[in-house]
Amino acid sequence: MRYARALCGFALVAALAGCTDEEPAAAPPTFVAPASAPAWTEPADYAFVVERQCEGGPALGRYRVTVAAREVTAVERIDGKTASGEEEIEVPSLGGLLKLAQTAADDGGAMTVKADPADGHPVAVSFDLSEGSEEAASCFVITEYAPRG
């Protein structure tokens, strides 16, 4: 009796498998990501310009920053504005900015870092600890990066 049931089971599976008109499913498409930027190591001495601005939002300040021995030694606000309604920010080094973003991510917030494809230095860093509020996001666009030494 067991042999008959097993034989019926195999026959049913074979019949169902043979009754399909569909061709086998095609393999899912393969997406090739562009080559990633090289790993970046913060140099001891460099300069950069940073703009506090989230995508589509108003610019909140543009600063020229000088770093020596991985410490910010000079910050110059270059957008001709003065802080209104809030205190002037303390602009970190690029390494410090990346640490702030990582801390936000470690605390459950969102973090995005975009890197220069040539040398890997950050060109945009944003982080947000709020739950969906764009107003609480901190966004920085980095330009004019120039290592010294």
- Residue ranges of the domains in the chain? 46-147
Q: Helix (H) and strand (E) counts for the chain?
A: 2, 6
| Per-position pLDDT tens, the chain of length 149 | 433 333 333 333 344 344 444 444 433 332 233 357 889 999 999 999 999 998 888 888 999 999 999 999 999 999 988 766 566 788 999 999 999 999 999 998 889 999 999 999 999 999 987 765 556 789 999 999 999 97
Residue 140 is given by DSSP the state E
Tokens 């973090």, residue located:
111
Structure tokens at 127: 């982080």
pTM score of the predicted model: 0.70
Other beta carbons less than 10 A from residue 60's beta carbon: 17
